Amino acid sequence: MLQDITKIGVIGAGQMGNGIAHVCALSEFDVHLADVSQENLEKGLAAIKRNMDRQVQRDLISADDAKAAQARIKSGTDYKGFKDCQLVIEAATEKEDVKKSILEELCPVLDEGALIASNTSSISITRLGSYTDRPGKFVGMHFMNPVPRMELVELIRGIATDEETFSCIRELTKKLGKKPVSAEDFPAFIVNRILLPMINEAIYTLYEGVGSVDAIDTAMKLGTHHPMGPLELADFIGLDVCLAVMQVLHEGLADTKYRPCPLLTKYVEAGWLGRKTNRGFYDYSGDTPVPTR
């Protein structure tokens, strides 16, 4: 039941994890944020402070609200802090073997009644739930990026997910100020099933020389009123994440239309992952992003 949830654990202090911790703390939940390194935690906590300061400047929250929310967030590099959590949200990198390892290590620490959610953007919730000791208490809870600003959360029920679990997480999502939308447990769910093939097609358009980076992004921004061009958006998401989702779609649906563009694969192999590495379809090392092709 929602009223039983007072403390929420978040695994992963990256862009998604620190965003989830941010909104949970602002909604007056105690939060335990964990990551593999203290450096990652410090970066995550700094991002939370920076993003809350921005909300204060825009009069979205008060300075007192921000201070109180940050005080609710504790952090650590081990799983001990999850022992008294009623819900833990896994927000680690989009690799199934990493998530499997985390879930197997997490379960022995938790109380018997604790719920687990995964922020996976594409991987089977049924399969992830099978790696736990409580598939009935496991659910997909896919937040959008950036979490503090985006209103949507996709909720995905695995084949074993209990109705009580799903209902509780739906109510929690509303309490976080988000809009829950139910998605079936198919590869990439709803948003990424539609969005990532569009981005992949934009990369094919670049790869085949139909247009330059600037031409493609300008055409989509001015021609369809998208706030960001698809290549700019790919850099924002992370090219490694884009590739991982396309691989899940390609393998899970066995349709050649989901084949990742070879250029996307090359960029990831080069370590050009977008904004987080200062280089992707744009170079971000200067004051203004410059197309790399």
Position 151 scores a pLDDT of: 97
Residue 220 identity: M
- Rounded Cα gap, residues 203 and 199, in angstroms: 6
Q: For domain 193-291, give the CATH superfamily.
A: N-(1-d-carboxylethyl)-l-norvaline Dehydrogenase; domain 2 (1.10.1040.10)
Whole-angstrom distance, CA of residue 293 vs CA of residue 284: 13
Catalytic residues: 121, 142, 154, 192
Q: What is the β-pairing status of strands 7-11 and 73-76?
A: unpaired
pLDDT of residue 288: 93
Per-residue pLDDT, 2: 78
Nearest to residue 156, comparing CAs of 175, 147, 145, 143? Answer: 143
CATH 3.40.50.720 in the chain is located at 2-183
Superfamily of domain 2-183 in the CATH hierarchy: NAD(P)-binding Rossmann-like Domain (3.40.50.720)
Residues of the chain with CATH 1.10.1040.10: 193-291
Residue 162 CB-density burial (10 A; 0-12 exposed, 13-18 middle, 19+ buried): middle
293 residues of the chain, pLDDT tens digit each: 778 999 999 999 999 999 999 999 999 999 999 999 999 999 999 999 999 999 999 999 999 999 999 999 999 999 999 999 999 999 998 899 999 999 999 999 999 999 999 999 989 999 999 999 999 999 999 999 999 999 999 999 999 999 999 999 999 999 999 999 999 999 999 999 999 999 999 999 999 999 999 999 999 999 999 999 999 999 999 999 999 999 999 999 999 999 999 999 999 999 999 999 999 999 999 999 999 98
Q: How many CB atoms lie within 10 A of CB 29?
A: 22
Quote the pLDDT of residue 1.
73
Question: Which has the closest alpha carbon to 140: 177, 199, 104, 190?
Answer: 190
